[in-house]
A = this chain, B = another copy of it.
Amino acid sequence: MALPARRLPSVLRVAGKSFEYPALRSCAGIGHRSFTATSKWRLRTKEMDEDMLKSLRVNRGRLMEDLHYTSQWGTGARWGEAPTETGMSRLALSDADKKARDWFVETTQALGCKTTVDAMGNIFAVRPGLRNDLPPTYAGSHLDTQPTGGRYDGVLGVTAGVEMLKVLADNWVETEYPVGVVNWTNEEGARFPISMVSSGVWAGSVPLETAHNLKEVLPGTKTMKEELRRIGYLGSTPASYEAMPMAAHFELHIEQGPLLEMSNKKIGVVKGVQAYKWFTVHIKGRDTHTGTTDLKSRADALLAASKMIVHSHRLATAHSALASTGILNLSPGSTNTVPGDVTFSLDIRSPSDATVTRMKQAILEDFQKIAAGEDVMGSNENCTSGLPLTVTITEDFSSPATLFDTDCITTVSSASHCVLGPNSNNLLMEMTSGAGHDSVYTSKRCPTSMIFVPCREGVSHNPEEFCKEEDCALGADVLLQSVIRFDRVRGERRVSWKQEPYTL
């Protein structure tokens, strides 16, 4: 598409590299311009051609500076010599989180955004577009971290959103519709033990009262509401998709797994989030003395648990699924007492709901057999049969498979091809997220998809979590391009939407 005469394409095509108009530069980022007052010096997203669009790129240095700058609040364990080589420990609604939030509000307001805080402390920073009667297209993620987390999980998504706002400001881009960045509260569930709780309230999936009354993990005793109030982020706007509607939600995140790195890819186009179920398995045997009880007179709950853990791995292998045990507690816990009581967690996942259901069935049946002393897939081979045990299996949580919006996926895919250039087919892969994200909840109420970037050895929730600057910037470019491209198309045609159709 030819550029209208009133634009200055020769300048804007080298965006981020050279600015010929000092007067404009001095305005960029101060945030008090009204984008709807005049159309002079503005570039409408709809009027950009592909080259123009492509030329909009994030400032990598500035992005990394923001990311590392915010890491001063809640700095975690050091793992390397360089100043940035520490992890993060920024629990939701802590003093450190308040400072990061304040930075987010001040920075986005300075970029011309209006910020709204809802009843869950979710912060919506919205940059007006040409038409402000319809909901914004959002980039979003979270600023809270695990207690022994890294610098990238969540934080990259929010700082890339802020960088997007800076690029739009720098280049006088005027979007068709408003564009926003959202910081979701307590995504990690590390301090208040429900993950993604605040996007859950927004989506209507978690009752507000449940979330407000959620107590922090021991030894603390504060509720979310108390802490929201204490740090000044208990907003008056309802935490709801109705009060704060979204046209779309795009989330940039580190993969938190090894697939991109192992296959030398740069961008993951995320098509959905796999299904998962969490169980608590409780085995009851009998405490007996290790020295005086022969093998056949034992009801050894830990031996049974070990067989079940190995068996769950075999079932996962057979079903091309995942099975993991992250918690195991036993009683009484003495070197010379066979434990009579073991409780362990079991987390099963698959992109397919049907597979998760089949895995669950197999586990329910096979664990009973193992407890009763029967052989299942060789579990008793070369073993001595002991006394029977009892096992009870409780399903604690179930998250069905999430399929992201096809238009959003297409948008991310086009954006990735644009950013990655001629070799893009070799540098991107479609994938399913293994972990839950706020996008799982937004996807229930608006078109959503995600962008993954590789992280070193797939390590996450760990101080050594690391994503190369180059990859952070590529991901942020794809996020920027996705939001702009979505903004361009949403006015042109009805973007499909499966659950509660939106007026886009």
Contact = CB atoms under 8 A, between A and B. Distances in A.
Interface residues of A, number: 69
Given A258-B297, A297-B262, A322-B295, A290 B382 contact: no
Contact of A334 (B300, B326, B436): B326
A292 B433 contact: yes
Nearest to A298: B324
Interface stretch (A63-71, A118-126, A303-311, A404-412): A303-311
Contacts of A300: 313, 324
Contact of A290 (B288, B310, B324, B336): B324
A38 to B, nearest CB: 47
Nearest to A325: B302
Nearest to A379: B310
Copies of the chain in the assembly: 2
B383 A291 contact: no
Contact of A336 (B255, B302, B326): B326
Given A306-B310, A313-B384, A378-B382, A259 B326 contact: no
Contacts of A258: 293-294, 297
A327 B287 CA distance: 12
Given A294-B322, A303-B313, A317-B384, A328 B330 contact: yes
A287 B461 CA distance: 8
Nearest to A289: B256
Contact of A462 (B287, B309, B318, B382): B287
A289 B337 contact: no
Contacts of A295: 313, 316-317, 322
A292 B335 contact: no
A458 interface: yes
Given A326-B338, A327-B333, A461-B337, A434 B313 contact: no
Interface in A257-302: 257-259, 262, 274, 276, 278, 286-295, 297, 300, 302
Given A314-B383, A326-B337, 5 more contacts: A148-B332, A259-B294, A287-B459, A335-B347, A336-B347
